[in-house]
Amino acid sequence: MNIIVCIKQVPDTTEVRIDPVTKNLVRDGVKSIVNPFDMYAIEEGVRLREKHGGKVTVITMGPPQAEAVLREAISLGCDDAVLISDRAFAGSDTLATCYTLSKAIEKIKDYDLVICGKQAIDGDTAQVGPGVASTLDIPQITYVRKIEEIKDNNITAERATEEGYEVVQTKMPCLITVVKEINTPRLPSLKGKMKAKSAVITVWKAADINADESRLGLKGSPTEVWKIFTPPPRPKGRIFEGDPQESVNQLVELLKDLNH
Amino acid sequence: MIDYLLTEEQLMIRDLCRQITDEKIRPIAAELDKTEKFPWDVMKVMAQSDLFGVYIEEKYGGMGGGILELCIATEEFSKGCAGIALCYSASALGTYPIILYGTEEQKKKYLPPLARGEKLAAFGLTEPAAGSDASALQTTAEKKGDHYILNGVKHFITNGGDAETYTVIAMTDKSKGARGASLFVVEKGTPGFSFGKKEDKLGIRASSTRELIFDNCKIPKENLLGKEGLGFIAAMRTFDTSRPGIGAQALGIAQGALDHALKYAKQRKQFGQSISSFQGIQWMLADMATQVEAARALVYASAREVDAGKKDVATHSAMAKMYASDVAMKVTTDAVQIFGGYGYMKEYPAEKYMRDAKITQIYEGTNQIQRNIIAMGLIKETAR
Ligand SMILES: Cc1cc2nc3c(=O)[nH]c(=O)nc-3n(C[C@H](O)[C@H](O)[C@H](O)COP(=O)(O)OP(=O)(O)OC[C@H]3O[C@@H](n4cnc5c(N)ncnc54)[C@H](O)[C@@H]3O)c2cc1C
Ligand SMILES: Cc1cc2nc3c(=O)[nH]c(=O)nc-3n(C[C@H](O)[C@H](O)[C@H](O)COP(=O)(O)OP(=O)(O)OC[C@H]3O[C@@H](n4cnc5c(N)ncnc54)[C@H](O)[C@@H]3O)c2cc1C
């Protein structure tokens, strides 16, 4: 079984500070880490390989220094790593990101399962997993909390919903995004760390993935960001205390005033 | 910390062990100190991370390092919990006799599962009547055809009951005294081999200590390590090799206590300022840090000497064990002092380090015995 795990390098938000003057994130000197949700994707990929055989290829699109997260993934048990990196990718929104990742996955070709994290802790859109699946035109199961069975080219998984969970079955190749209930990621092994240190990381540029240039980077990104802001905190509710009859009357009056 | 010019691989071991200590050991240390539960979960993590094999040759499934690698790992784990660290390092003590005296066949049979951490090992020498005086052993191994029959009791055995592979010293010929002792491998589950109750201890409470009871325990003659009569020498050579490891455990305890004391001294305010601004506290911290660094230098240097295959390492490994453990006792006591009354409370980390430190002055030969070894070494050297 051949598995592709998509991971993203993100700033360690536990270390991110806000510049008191510009109100921007201070990214300088902040450690970069593997997107925490992607640690579960890596672990699940490695576990599936341990159970079913095959290999795990980890990919990321990012600047040259994103190589570090690929090495970490190798220390955790992934077999191969590909860095998708080119100036042409700069300014990609989620659409362009999905397109680029899909082209890379098409180039890898021989795969049964693509695993993504639920969302990235910086971009936070949770669009990339589903976007890659639809670009590749393969089935997807999002928010997977447990893989029940993989058999005869079918995968059965539990997907977490707000009320509980759904059991979904689909054909492979397919893409899943995982939530943190799915497993407990392991720590690296010494052999893994050594392998990671000496591993040769393949780098693919735009030309290597046979991509349509107009769909890459800024050119391929229709999204326009109008404004970035922190939503104001929800105002505190009011609690009516004391005599129930009296409280209800007060509440009704208040609602009337609010024109409800 | 002084730069000991560790190799890249050794630094990798240190980083990985530090991560395991921070993420997996520190959060449960106080709890296991209370419950005395054996830390199987942490053992699994260490195993999965290849750490049980750091000192074992690659052809037997290890990582090809030596005692220095074992020391680096033990030191890091001990900073978080010396009891959990001991479950790990005592397995190495039980494994060393096989490395030192096993035939190719015996090594192939026993080492790979120990290197992978699938099994733990233990070393059984001490008996109720034979502590410092290891020549007073009562446990016997009688040869009958192609078997040995073991009878007797070992006590205070670390990992006893939890380990699968035991290296045990027993008398094959009592009339020969120390020269009549031999070394055997006994596997858990062998009929006639059972365990006594778990000891209730002052410190290192996550580590298990039990009696090994041999009642007509029949083992194949292939389980003899080395030759008959070599047992006592084998035990001494095992200790010469492994003692820097106890030094490393003591070192980790001392460093762990110092780290807590320093942090606390900066936070705690009295007389309107942090207590770290008082010279009395500063001098204590300065002494503690210097002693810890001196212990580390000695432990690493003696470990390197062992790894280099030097012949007469007994004196230096005794020095490393003795000095580092005395430092651990002193530094942990001072750490409690810096914490003041809070240091005496179990809610704070300091007192556990002090309780854990004490054992390092006692086992693998008490520090009185270490001083005997060092003095004998000096006298022998000057007699030449
Ligand atoms: C107009 C615009 C311009 C942008 N320009 C840039 C830019 O120049 N540089 C930049 O870094 N970002 C840029 N971004 C942000 C970037 O588009 C998103 O970070 C990216 O699309 C991923 O979205 P997300 O972070 O919400 O990930 P999510 O959709 O929340 O991530 C879900 C999962 O998808 C996978 N995944 C996400 N991103 C990657 C990746 N890069 N490689 C592999 N797997 C991945 C992971 O498995 C992850 O867990 C821009 C965004 C916009 C709107
Ligand atoms: C928690 C724990 C774990 C242990 N784990 C193991 C293990 O895994 N395997 C194993 O084989 N053993 C183990 N031991 C045993 C340990 O090595 C012995 O307890 C130790 O060697 C001391 O022996 P003893 O307890 O009989 O003390 P004794 O030998 O009775 O010593 C009592 C006191 O007399 C002093 N003394 C004795 N002889 C002399 C002398 N010649 N000169 C000066 N002073 C002397 C000692 O230093 C000590 O202070 C363990 C012990 C403990 C407590």
At A43-73, the pLDDT tens digits run 999 999 999 999 999 999 999 999 999 999 9
User: What DSSP assignment string belongs to B36-63?
Assistant: ----HHHHHHHHHTTGGGTTS-GGGTS-
Check if the interface score ipTM surpasses 0.90.
no
Give dist(CA B151, CA A93) in Å, integer.
Answer: 75
Amino acid identity at B262: L
**pLDDT at residue A24 is higher than 70:** no
**pLDDT at residue A18 is higher than 80:** no
**Is B297 strand, coil or helix?**
helix
Q: Quick one: which of B164, B139, B166 has its CA closest to B154?
A: B139
Write down the H helix ranges in A61-146.
67-75, 94-108, 128-136
Structure confidence by residue, pLDDT tens digits, A72-118: 999 999 999 999 999 999 999 999 999 999 999 999 999 999 999 99
The DSSP output letter for B130 is B
Give dist(CA B81, CA B200) in Å, integer.
Answer: 17
Q: Is A187 on the interface with B (CB under 8 A)?
A: yes
Contact across the interface for A194 and B12, Cβ inside 8 Å: yes
Handedness of CA A122, A123, A125, A127 (dihedral sign): negative
Amino acid identity at A20: P
**pLDDT at residue A260 is higher than 60:** no
Q: Extract the tokens encoding A8.
A: 């993203």
Point out the ligand 2 atom lying closest to the alpha carbon of residue B199.
1
- pLDDT band at residue A237 using 50, 70 and 90 as cut-offs: confident
Q: Give pLDDT, residue A23.
A: 64
Provide the b/e sequence for B299-315 (b: ≥16 CB within 10 Å): bbebbbbbbeeeeebbb
Instruction: Tell me what the pLDDT averaged over chain B comes to.
Output: 97
Structure confidence by residue, pLDDT tens digits, B249-285: 999 999 999 999 999 999 999 999 999 999 999 999 9
* CB of A128 shorter than 6 A to ligand 1: yes
| Domain B237-382, architecture per CATH | Up-down Bundle (1.20)
Q: Extract the tokens encoding B104.
A: 């190719």
- Structural domains for chain A: 2-215 (3.40.50.620)
The DSSP output letter for A32 is E
Q: Rounded to whole angstroms, what are the CA distances from A3 to A60, A106, A112, A177?
A: 14, 13, 6, 13
Give dist(CA A73, CA B213) in Å, integer.
Answer: 47
> Nearest 5°: CA angle at A69, between A129 and A208?
65
Structure confidence by residue, pLDDT tens digits, B168-183: 999 999 999 889 999 9
Q: Give pLDDT, residue A241.
A: 87
Q: Is B12 on the interface with A (CB under 8 A)?
A: yes
Give dist(CA B48, CA B106) in Å, integer.
Answer: 24
Question: Which is it for strands B165-171 and B181-187: parallel, antiparallel or unpaired?
Answer: antiparallel
Burial of A123 (0-12, 13-18, 19+ CB in 10 A): middle
Q: Give pLDDT, residue A178.
A: 98
Q: Quick one: which of B160, B83, B167 has its CA closest to B123?
A: B167
Q: Are A90 and A38 in contact (CB under 8 A)?
A: no
Q: Give pLDDT, residue A29.
A: 76
Mean pLDDT of B37-61: 97
E-state strands within chain B? 121-124, 140-144, 147-158, 165-171, 181-187, 193-195, 209-220, 224-225, 269-270, 273-274
**pLDDT at residue A209 is higher than 90:** yes
Ligand 1 center to A93 CA (angstroms):
7
Q: Extract the tokens encoding A253.
A: 């009056």
Cβ-proximal residues to A224 (8 Å cutoff; 6+ apart), any chain: none
The residue whose C-alpha atom lies closest to atom 31 belonging to ligand 2 is: B132
So which residues of B are the catalytic ones? 364
Q: How far is Cα of residue B136 from the mean position of the Cα atoms in its chain?
A: 23
Structure confidence by residue, pLDDT tens digits, B91-145: 999 999 999 999 999 999 999 999 999 999 999 999 999 999 988 999 999 999 9
Please write down the long-range contacts of B56-60, taking CB distance under 8 Å and 24 or more positions apart.
B56/B95, B56/B99, B56/B111, B56/B114, B56/B115, B57/B99, B57/B111, B60/B107, B60/B108, B60/B111, B60/B112, B60/B115
Contact across the interface for A190 and B54, Cβ inside 8 Å: yes
Ligand 2 center to B159 CA (angstroms):
17
**Domain spans of chain B?**
8-120, 122-231, 237-382
**Which CATH number is B122-231 given?**
2.40.110.10
Mean pLDDT of A3-31: 80
Ligand 1 center to A43 CA (angstroms):
21
The residue whose C-alpha atom lies closest to atom 8 belonging to ligand 1 is: A91
Cβ-proximal residues to B208 (8 Å cutoff; 6+ apart), any chain: B36, B38, B87, B158, B159, B160, B161, B162, B198
Q: Quick one: which of A38, A35, A77 has its CA closest to A57?
A: A77
Q: Give pLDDT, residue A101.
A: 98
Burial of B280 (0-12, 13-18, 19+ CB in 10 A): exposed
**Whole-prediction pTM value?**
0.89
* CB of A116 shorter than 6 A to ligand 1: yes
B350 vs A24, more confident:
B350
Residues with CB under 6 A from ligand 2: B 90, 122-126, 131-132, 156-158, 201, 209, 359, 362-366, 368-369, 372
Angle between helices B82-101 and B231-267 (to 10 degrees): 160
Q: Which CATH number fits domain B8-120: 3.30.450.40, 2.160.10.10, 3.30.1050.10, 1.10.540.10?
A: 1.10.540.10
